[in-house]
Structure 1
Amino acid sequence: MPSSVMSTPIRDAGPQPPSIAISADGLRKSYGDKAVLDGIDLSIPTGSVFALLGPNGAGKTTTVKILSTLLGADGGRAVVAGHDVAGEAQAVRAAIGVTGQFSAVDGLITGEENMRLMADLHHLSKREGRRVTAELLRRFDLEEAAKKPASTYSGGMRRRLDIAMTLVGGPRIIFLDEPTTGLDPRSRHNMWQIIRELVADGVTVFLTTQYLEEADELADRIAVLNDGKIAAEGTAEELKRIVPGGHVKLRFSDPSAYRSAVTALDEVVRDDESLSLTLPSDGSQRALRSVLDRLDAAGIEADELTVHTPDLDDVFFALTGSGKPGQAERSTHPDHPEQSDQNDQPKEAVR
């Protein structure tokens, strides 16, 4: 992968973008008697990565569709790139790019032809279209494969081409709905680097993901959506601090040392079979020093010490109460399109 996509061509968008790229106030959406979004509020600064997490059917894809003008809200107001989503849909579409859960790449034509098709849809001149196509193919390390049918591309290559196509119109806000689903670890890390470099260039990224470590790695702020509402929002570290469950685990091979540790330490949970003790702890240096000092004072040495602090998995389970983190949204009910393919609308409508 190239080291940078910083010089990806961005067309002049006129005045300086607002400091808040995306905002929503009381956004609501129902399918029949099911309230998928029940009055959510969002405020996403320009040039940041915002991650939206939630269990299956929580409303993540519906949120993306409303904010990208592909679906109307039942209530509330949303502003994207300084434009009202309901009243100025065309202006919103001119400012954004959308990459859905499934690639919109046409496998029957080459990567270069996919790019030029997107340039034509943006009404670029042939000369400008060729220039932008060549630049993006180079930046996304697709030059060698440019003349090959996209059907021969690997999953990672198709995803890079998909995002390159999104960038043809020079969007300042990009919606990425589970962009790394199905990718191998190397391709996923390459995609993370691309996202970081786009944000470094001032692009705002709205990310939904089925990988909690992805949100932890990339997002400036994270919101957890559950039962149609934002259950919590903050940085990854802020969210982790609201969940109890941090602990230190000590393991012993000597039964005598194990029994002495039980006496020396307070509030321990014993496991006599494995000779291990679990103590509540916030994982801080001070808390660990306190445990080690008490062991040293009693002349006790543990064979193994491990520290567990709450992670986003813990946050997810605590805030959603049910469901398994890390699953993509899906729905097969014909009257509940919440998890339908993002490509059920023509992709060029929002490129």
Structure 2
Amino acid sequence: MLYNYSGIAHIHTSYSDGSADLKEIARVACRSGAHFILINDHDTLQAKHFEGECYLHGVLVLIGAEVTPQRNHFLCYDINNVPSRLLPPQQYVGEVYRQGGFGFLAHPDQRENPLFPGRMHWESWDLDLPFGVEIWNFFAQWMGGFKTLGGLLKNFFFPKARLQPPHPETLLRWDRLGCTRPVPAIAGVDAHGGRQFNWLPTVVSSYLHQFKTLRTHVLTRQPLRGDVAKDRRLILSALKQGCSYLVNHFAGKVQFFSFLIQHGNRCWYMGEEVRYRPGLVIKVTLPEPAQIRIIKDGKLFCQTHAGTVRLPQAAPGVYRVEVYKGSRWPRPWIFSNHIYVRAA
């Protein structure tokens, strides 16, 4: 049995350029139904050093950082010191792993907006390190979703309705990396609150509204019991492994989603590797019928509208699932992490 917990990743507090403290952010996260939150203030762990990781308003608060040079931002967790943003990417990402931590390339293919110049995409994909990828980022997508004043107005009034799937180039890079090693993925909100963006209306900038966009759901083999140290390890281990899936809450909340590969009585879940053997079966189960796309090695492998899918004889490859709701204007809903079927 696996336990399903909904989290909000990539949040900024008043320790960097956010507009609220940990207690207020946790209160809002509780109101939005989250079980845990991931703090990523710019180039600082002050929230961790001064207040510590803890439960607030019933929400587990976990604190990492975001290394923020001009480009190549990096979300990092389970570290005691933030590497200098003045170092080359290979060095500051390497320092995270030398500390025993892990991390994700932040908004790696963020589009440049001509109305608000500045690029924060990733240029160093060839790092010889086991990094993960933030494949979906609400605020980066919002900022890159318009090029004219008319588009800006549409984004103001319909910020969540205009949420698109992850960038195709990001997905393709992620799939190709998965052919060589496990690559965990998360969805980030990149929430700052309203104080630092006074030109944005509340529907865009408030923590409450942003927390209703993208979630990272983790799957654990043990339940959270309110013990900070043990629960912290359960959540971080699941994130590091990629035992998780990503949800667009605007398309619909998710209480249960299953994607696994089975052989007899044994099952492999998202983030896990399995050696190929005859008789492997792919199984997908949704909360309700929707459009299911199974992606293998970066290409569409199977597509159907259903609540469940069962595909026998899974060959070697890297598999993941995309789910869309609606037929006329399909909305991106669920994106799974990979399951890796390696050649024997």
TM-score w.r.t. length of structure 2: 0.23
Higher RCO structure, 1 or 2 (CA under 8 Å, sep 6+)? 1
Instruction: Compare CA radii of gyration and give the structure with the larger one.
Output: 1
Higher helix share: 1
TM-score w.r.t. length of structure 1: 0.23
